[in-house]
Amino acid sequence: MKDQQNFLELILRGESETLEFKSNFNDQVIETIAAFSNSVGGTILIGIDSKGNLSGISTGKETIQNWVNEIKQKTSPSVYPEIRNCLNEGKTIIMIDVPEFPVKPVSFKGRFFKRIGNSNHLMSAFEITQMSIQSSQTSWDAFPARKLTINDLDVLKVSRFLEKVKEKGRYPLQNDWKENLEKLRLINGETITNAAWLLFGKEAPGYNVHIGRFKTPSLIIDDKMLNETLFETVEESMRYIIGQIKVAFEITGMPTSRTEIFEYPLPALRELVLNSIIHRDYLSPIDIQIKIFDNSISFYNPGGLFGNLTINDLKKDNYRANARNKLIAEAFYLTGDVEKYGTGFIRIRKEIGDYRTMVFDFDEIPNGFLAALKYKTQKISTKDDTVNDTVNDTVNDTVKRSDNILKEIEKNPYLSYVELSRLLKISRITVVREMGKMKKLGLIERVGSDKKGYWKILNTPLSNNS
């Protein structure tokens, strides 16, 4: 009675990623068994057509045992699903329950399938490799680096890494650097792992980060290709990004105090850079791509979400992340670059909390994962950033003009209002007004007469605004 109730409920749901109807037992049934085994499992009801109509099926004394034998022979590793009879209105329905197989991928007659939606899809060689690595509870970065040995590692890079690990205190280190890398499973005797090569190789490992400043999707203002070992790539990426994004300056108090307010919170940007580099799929030839626009910055890395993690999971603060590159992730954790596994997106959401118009978007796209920070109004104050776009633009222009004036008088303190007006291509009245504000703020003062005197800068000149 319980089985009958169960399959009636299944029929009402209709075919799905975990349910399929078949009128008869045939090779298509075994193909679906293999696909379910490679996914999250599922149920096949035999004696029901694709529309959910019950036709029933005739079975003999040895039917189910014969099916079991055929499934065993045509799948590798051999699958043994649970098969049982269900009766409804005098018709026999066979229910085949297929659990997710612990060792993947499972093949059907030498071919590999996975379940997508309500159909089976033939897996590519790349997908087969990925599933095999994931199933073996290891990761690509733990495999030996082909034709490379310990002599291909840069000992200075290893030393810097171990110093950071020691400083952070998350792992007890020995005196010998080789022994430490052995214990961290980054090397095995003279053999080095892919992770060790990516982290400490003497030569560039060949995985690029393509980063650029865009005015429009098709108009590139500036770009750079980074190809360093991973720790160096993180720092180079951050240096480039910081050099391209805008900075607002909040000047308060007497004596004056100046606060720099970056266009985006730098810890959030660093998290996104780390996420792209640590979780990229290093079996893919596609580059990491970072694009900086006027009001947004995006990070693309090859390789979708790993394991059973979904986009909806990432939107919550209690998601559990799986590391595609376990040794790389562990190395960045030990140095303190990553604080805790699976909390990066939580920290990003926290960091942008004070940026009231900023949003954090992310999604899986073909061949990879895309994350972006966007805003409507740039944050320009630690007190109140609810100003509209017009006010924001005005303040930014004012900061930029003041910055430019200070730079000019730093080069030549004897410049007059007229000369500054001509150099900066702004009106004399604007120069007088801006310099008057700076004098009130205690940034500059006039020494001597208007004709023979000079300007004295009282505080450090403002940094250049990108």
- Choice between 256 and 107, residue whose per-residue pLDDT is larger: 107
- Find out whether 139 and 324 touch, Cβ atoms under 8 Å: yes
Which among 35, 29, 107, 93 is positioned nearest to 59, based on CA atoms?
93
Q: Which residues is 298 bridged to in the sheet?
A: 291, 372
Upstream peptide bond of 285 is cis (omega within 30 degrees of 0) = no
Q: pLDDT (tens digit, 9 = 90+) per residue, 53-68?
A: 788 888 888 888 999 9
- Choice between 145 and 12, residue whose per-residue pLDDT is larger: 145
Question: Is pLDDT above 50 for 1?
Answer: no
Q: Which residues is 359 bridged to in the sheet?
A: 374
Helix/strand/coil for 121: strand
Measured CA to CA, the distance from residue 386 to residue 400 in angstroms comes to: 21
- Residue 339's Cβ-count burial label (10 Å; 0-12, 13-18, 19+) is exposed
Question: Is pLDDT above 90 for 180?
Answer: yes
Determine the pLDDT at residue 401.
76
Q: pLDDT (tens digit, 9 = 90+) per residue, 343-358?
A: 788 899 999 998 999 9
Q: At what angle do helices 155-168 and 326-334 cross, to 10 degrees?
A: 60
Determine the pLDDT at residue 6.
62
As given in the structure block, the two tokens for residue 155 are 């000992």
* For residues 162-175, average pLDDT: 91
Q: Which residues is 116 bridged to in the sheet?
A: 119
Q: What angle do CA 40, 82, 71 make, to 5 degrees?
A: 85
Write the CA distances from 150 to 142, 157, 206, integer angstroms: 15, 13, 18
Residue 398 banded pLDDT, cuts 50, 70, 90: low
- Find out whether 92 and 45 touch, Cβ atoms under 8 Å: no
C-beta contacts of 250-254 below 8 A and 24+ residues apart: 250/380, 250/381, 250/382, 250/383, 251/441, 251/443, 254/442
* For residues 363-370, average pLDDT: 90
- Residue 379's Cβ-count burial label (10 Å; 0-12, 13-18, 19+) is buried
Work out the mean pLDDT of the chain and round it to a whole number: 85
Measured CA to CA, the distance from residue 250 to residue 24 in angstroms comes to: 74
Number of neighbours of residue 83 by Cβ within 10 angstroms: 19
Determine the pLDDT at residue 342.
66
Q: Which residues is 210 bridged to in the sheet?
A: 225, 289
Question: Is pLDDT above 50 for 461?
Answer: no
Q: Domains in the chain, ordered, with CATH? A: 2-135 (3.30.950.30), 140-200 (no CATH), 209-374 (3.30.565.60), 389-457 (1.10.10.10)
Measured CA to CA, the distance from residue 238 to residue 15 in angstroms comes to: 48
DSSP for 331-353?
HHHHTTSS-STT-HHHHHHHHGG
Residue 24 banded pLDDT, cuts 50, 70, 90: very high
Q: How remote is the C-alpha of 35 from its chain's centroid? A: 28
pTM: 0.63
- Find out whether 141 and 326 touch, Cβ atoms under 8 Å: yes
Question: Is pLDDT above 70 for 460?
Answer: no
Determine the pLDDT at residue 458.
76
Question: Is pLDDT above 50 for 248?
Answer: yes
